[in-house]
Amino acid sequence: MYRPELDTPERRHRNARIAGLAMRTGLLSALRLLGRSKWLRLGARYRLVSLFCRPEYCGSVPFEVDFFGLRYPGDLSWYLDWNVYFFGAYEKTSLLYLRDLLRDRGGEVFIDIGANVGQHTLFMSKYARVIHAFEPWDVVRRSIEEKIKRNSLTNVKIHPVGLGERHEWLPYYAPLGSNTGTGSFDSHHATDRNRLSEKLEIVNGDEYFEANGICDIDLIKIDAEGFEKFVLLGLRKTLARSKPTVFLEVSESTLRTLDGPDELRRCAPECYEVVYADISQNGIKYSQFDASRPGNVLLRVIG
């Protein structure tokens, strides 16, 4: 849990100085080798690396590393980037699963809703003909722009808005600390670190897609930190027309917006089923979505 009283400029400066020294002396390179080794379970590797370098309460420590044949500019003070640096990716099995979902569709168009710092967008740029990345918060959106520029990508379009049921400007609760992915339009989400920041623009997905010529969609990833239901409600026509596969992260905050499992099913056309997709190193396990727990959820067309 994030503790604001520990997040002081002095602590950040000291931790950044230590990390910078470790980078110059080769210690971080050794920890990268450890982090990517296969003879230790990921949990053990995570704990060992964290003993020497943690992203929380750390000042900026920029880096650039190889990322599946692409260049990944990042910062060790951001949790997702920290995972990329030491372990090769954040939730690598989910990235590979998204790649396979797109391949199964024989598809070309990927929509990344809640793109954060752009890890998923960058990875999927190798496999999709066109990517539309939606990220309303400019702090992390600049990181996506840097990745596009560094890799000279021409198949990624960034949209500086969030998606929802209607066009409106809503208060955004931005995260403190290293985990940039907890920012939300839900005031009750990640209350240990999120703080009211500013109002950001939300647009109706169907209307925005039509106005911007976004069509023939194959795969949608939604990670909206409790706002997933409203994203889906704004995409009803798109789902009916293109029938894309939808992969979304359901959090406790998402579950609080649902009046049971049937409400999420009603957000999509009748041709869809809603299942949990539990991803592990051993493969994918599917089970009926019953809104009893958070997890990765898949909306897929039946038949």
For the stretch 121-139, pLDDT in tens is: 999 999 999 999 999 999 9
Question: Residues 251-285, buried b or exposed e (16+ Cβ, 10 A)?
Answer: bebbbeebeeeeebbbbbeeebbbebbebeeeeee
Structural domain count of the chain: 2
Q: Same structural domain for residues 197 and 125?
A: yes
Among 39, 65, 86, where does a domain finish? 86
Q: Do 264 and 151 share a domain, yes or no?
A: yes
263-282 average pLDDT score: 94
**Lowest-pLDDT choice from 16-30, 84-98, 110-124:** 16-30
Q: pLDDT higher for 148 or 41?
A: 148
Domain CATH for 107: 3.40.50.150
Give the domain-ending residue among 67, 86, 105. 86
Same domain, yes or no: 111 and 230: yes
| pLDDT attached to residue 197 | 96
Cβ atoms of residues 162 and 228 within 8 Å = no
Query: Final residue of a domain: which of 86, 112, 133?
Result: 86
Q: Indicate if 41 and 163 belong to the same structural domain.
A: no
pLDDT in tens, 276-293: 999 988 899 999 999 999
Let me know whether 167 and 187 are in one domain. yes
The whole model's pTM is what?
0.95
Domain that holds residue 219: 92-301
